[in-house]
Structure 1
Amino acid sequence: MKWQLLSSEYLFTDSWLRARRDRCLRPDGQEVYPYYVMEYPTWVTAVALTEDNQVVLVKQYRHALGEVCIETPGGCVDATDTDNAEAVKRELLEETGYAFNEVHYLGRTSPNPSTNNNLMHLYLLRGGKKVQEQELDQNEDIEVVLVSLDELKNMLERNEIIQAMHVTCIFYALQKLEKLQGQYQQESIH
């Protein structure tokens, strides 16, 4: 099923995005051209819990959508990060001012495997403590929002968190924390 890459041409290159046009050959001999691929850096995000089990969320304007969104904190893996776990801890410290003493890897997800080449790595962080003020990038304006785990679940039910990869992270975190068990049992009873 895998295609053979015959050629690639970059149409746009910037620090956060590269767009290319590929010419490919399918196993059945059919040529696919043009096929457009968006290249982004690797991303990380986390459901982050403070020492008293409050969930650390962020609220910020997302220009492409034109809306203010509530999300899990995270961002891009930088060349200076030793690994993805280090990147997620750095991103949370910068965006929220919280440091965490437990890091649990939850898996990975693809933003859109038909057009994007990158992955987002998902984490559960625990034991968070506010240790500094935010260190935001020039274009960031982020409000930190603390909620209980029950309120987080209510926010999902009300469709208040719309970033699909972040919803995926929340699902895996709630599963790891065994906060979905009662729902499964109730559904199977009815």
Structure 2
Amino acid sequence: MDWKLVNSEYLYKEPWLTLRRDICETPAGVTVNPYYVLEYPDWVCVMAVTADHQVILIRQYRHAFGTVLLEIPGGVIDPEDPVPLDAARRELLEETGYAFEQFYSLGAVSHNPSTSTNLTHMFLATGGKYVQAQQLDANEEIEVLLKDVNEVEQMLKEHQFVQALHVSCLHYGLEKIKELRADMNRGE
């Protein structure tokens, strides 16, 4: 079922967004021209839980959507980040001022594999402690909120989160928390 790439041409190339136009051929011999592909760097997002069992949420303005949204910490994996986990640690510290004892990988998801090349690597971080002031980019204004795990679960049920990648991470994070609690109850 894989398509054959016949030709590829970059139309726009910037660090945050690259657009290319491909010409492809399907196994049935159908030419697909043009097929537009967006190239982004990979991203991370983190369901972060403090040492006193509070989930860290953030509020920030999202220009494309035109409003302030409730989200979880995360961002782009920089070239200086050797692995996604390093980006998760960095983003948490920069956006929230918290450092974490334990990280659990929750897998990776694509926001739209039909048009985009990148993945979002999801993590659950636990044991967070406030260690420094936020270190935000010049264009960032981020409000940090702390919510109980049960409250966040209810907020999900009420559709209070718009960012689909963050919704995925929160669902996987809540599953992992339940798994960790069950392991503790069994004495593992």
Q: Distance in 2 between matches of 1:14 and 1:140?
A: 20
> 1:64 maps to which residue?
64
- The one-character-per-residue Cα deviations of 1:105-129 (angstroms, maximum 9, x if unpaired) are 0101001011111000000000100
Letter in 2 for 1:10: Y
Equivalent-residue separation in structure 2 for 1:3 and 1:67 (angstroms): 39
Q: Could you tell me how far 1:148 is from its partner in structure 2? A: 0.3
SS at match of 2:178: coil
How far apart are 1:149 and its partner, in Å?
Answer: 0.5
**How far off its partner does 1:24 sit?**
0.5
Counterpart of 2:25? 25
> Structure 1: 5+ residue runs without aligned partners?
180-190
Q: Which residue of 1 aligns with 2:10?
A: 10
SS in 2 for 1:113: coil
Mapped partners of 1:169, 1:55: distance in 2: 13
Q: Tell me the TM-score normalised to structure 1 length.
A: 0.92
Note the C-alpha offset of 1:93.
0.3
CA distance in 1, matches of 2:65, 2:88: 24
Distance 1:95 1:131 in 2: 12
Deviation (angstroms), 1:102: 0.2
Cα deviation, 1:87-140, whole Å, max 9, x if unaligned, reads: 100011000000001010010100101111100000000010010000111111
SS where residue 154 of structure 1 aligns?
helix
For the pair 1:139 / 2:164, whether they are aligned, the reply is: no
For the residue of structure 2 that corresponds to 1:177, the secondary structure is helix
Number of matched residues? 180
Which aligned segments of 4 or more residues in structure 1 are displaced greater than 3 angstroms? none
What's the RMSD between the two structures over aligned residues? 1.2
Superposed CA deviations along residues 53-83 of structure 1, whole A, max 9, x for unmatched, are 1001110010101111011100011111121
Query: For the residues of structure 2 that align with 1:85 and 1:106, how far apart are their CA atoms?
Result: 11
Separation in structure 2 between the aligned mates of residue 58 and residue 6 of structure 1, nearest angstrom: 44
The residue type paired with residue 27 of structure 2 is: P
Q: 2:92 is matched by which residue type in structure 1? A: L
The aligned residue for residue 44 of structure 1 is: 44
Whole-Å Cα distance in 1 between the matches of residues 30 and 98 of structure 2? 52
Q: Hey, what does 2:182 align to over in structure 1?
A: none
**Structure 2 letter corresponding to 1:8:** S
Q: Which amino acid aligns with 1:22?
A: D
Q: Which amino acid counterpart does residue 177 of structure 2 have in structure 1?
A: L
Amino acid aligned to 1:141: E
Unmatched segments (≥5 aa) in structure 2: 180-188
* Other structure's SS at 1:160 match: coil
Residue identity over aligned pairs, in percent, reads: 51
